[in-house]
Amino acid sequence: MPVLPAATYFTAPAPNHAPVPYAAQSASEPPGSFTRVHRRGIIAAGSLLGLAALGGVAAAVTGSGSGRRNAGSGAGGGSGVAGTGSSASPSPSPTYPAPSFTTVPANGESGVDPSKPVTVTVANGTITSVQLSGGQETSGTLSGDKSTWTSNGVLHLSTSYQLQIQAADKGGKSVTKTISFATLKPSATIGVLEMWPGSSVTVGVGQPIRVQFTNYVPGAYRADVEKACVVSTNPPVAGAWHWVDSDTMDWRPQDFWQTGTHVTVALGLSGVRAGQHQYFIRDHSLDFTVRDTDLRLIVDTKQFKATAYQNGQVVRTFPIDTGTNDPRFITWSGTLAVLDKGNPVEMKGDYGNGDKYDELVTWATQITYSGTYVHAAPWDGQIGQVNSSHGCIHARTSDATWFYNLAHIGDVVQVTGTSKTVALTNGFGDWTTSWSSWLSGSAYGATIGGKPVSG
């Protein structure tokens, strides 16, 4: 280290003060203090020079206090550096209010309506997990801001449930809440009386789905019933339920089924409310397949002719005759589906004035519940010339046999040219109604796989 000239031996100058020579001695200092001052000055000056030699750091030791106090501080190497003698204490961690929960139903509630959704709402946090278990595992939908959860579907009747909720506060801390509740025991129940077609069967392109209940369903509850009855198809197709009676609803597509379609019907009705005090207590299901052949028989009563189409191609034309002009015997017009077949079928009637019969009729294919058949009539010598039957479609034995052997349940039979239109419930007259009229008879509207679509 270079040696400074004696005249430059100063303590570090304090702001707004003149340098103090090392030889200056106050009257209050005792003899011998000169040596101490001189040594402090040398140390301070040496420190400054050393810092200056390090480059750009000397400013850290200049700054505050009188010359001697600074020098002393510098010799100690303490508070003179950067002016920070102690480190700051750490900031406290932020605290957040705990999440609060609101549930419907409330904890411990009984007599809960199973047709109503379960809801969870969280304040001061977000929902991270919800599990509703009991009679069945039940899924739900979380809102976009994760503050509300709503269950999907309906619950079972007379069942205890547990709802477990997890939520996180704004700092990410998790909180869990568990509640229990029980659904009501109904005072009145309703069920499914019958379903068409049967399960695991193969049908024609004109076969609707029909569900008949054990009691009527008031209009206010029909949308919920339809929503619970999901029709899924492969390939997918839009269709709708239509109430053909107060206790019966049918489902059909807009047009005839595509050949080869597989259909699954899931009636998730358990717990669905169908009246003021009336609930379904069971689920039901069925599945069927539309056959690969599209067979349609078009009956022209005015031309006394029937034309059979297979996959859009004419495969047979044959003479027929139908009901007389007597209002009691006019054949029903409309687009129908084959209901059943029999060989033979007993047919009998007594219309007065000697018009009475009881016969076994062969090769009979049924198309209405009121008794309309396509059948062999070997006794009828006016086939193809005059409409003379009691309402059935008469054919020669060879033609009736051919159609009987080819026809399946659900194949289409369309009758034209008479003054009477078949009712929806007289067999399956569903296709006689336009699509817009069909939709007007639905409380829930058109669906694909149970999901609503525009009509």
Active site residues: 375, 392
- Can you tell me the distance from the alpha carbon of 287 to that of 282, in angstroms, rounded to the nearest whole number? 17
**CB atoms < 10 A from the CB of 312, how many?**
7
- The beta strand positions in 206-283, using DSSP E, are 209-213, 229-234, 239-245, 248-253, 262-267, 278-280
Q: How far apart are CA 451 and CA 442, in angstroms?
A: 14
**Which residues lie across from 180 on neighbouring strands?**
162
In this structure, what token pair is assigned to residue 55? 């480059």
**Measuring CA to CA, which residue among 335, 339, 341, 346 is closest to residue 429?**
335
Q: Which residues contact 407 (CB under 8 A, 6 or more apart)?
A: 204, 295, 297, 338, 341, 365
Pairing relationship of beta strands 364-366 and 340-342 according to DSSP bridges: antiparallel
Q: How far is CA 227 from CA 56, 153, 223, 354, 447, in A?
A: 81, 9, 6, 53, 9
CA distance readout (Å), 161 to 94, 103, 172, 210, 378: 37, 13, 28, 33, 67
Does residue 105 have a cis bond before it (omega within 30 degrees)? Answer: yes
The CA-based angle 374-375-378, given to 5 degrees, is 140
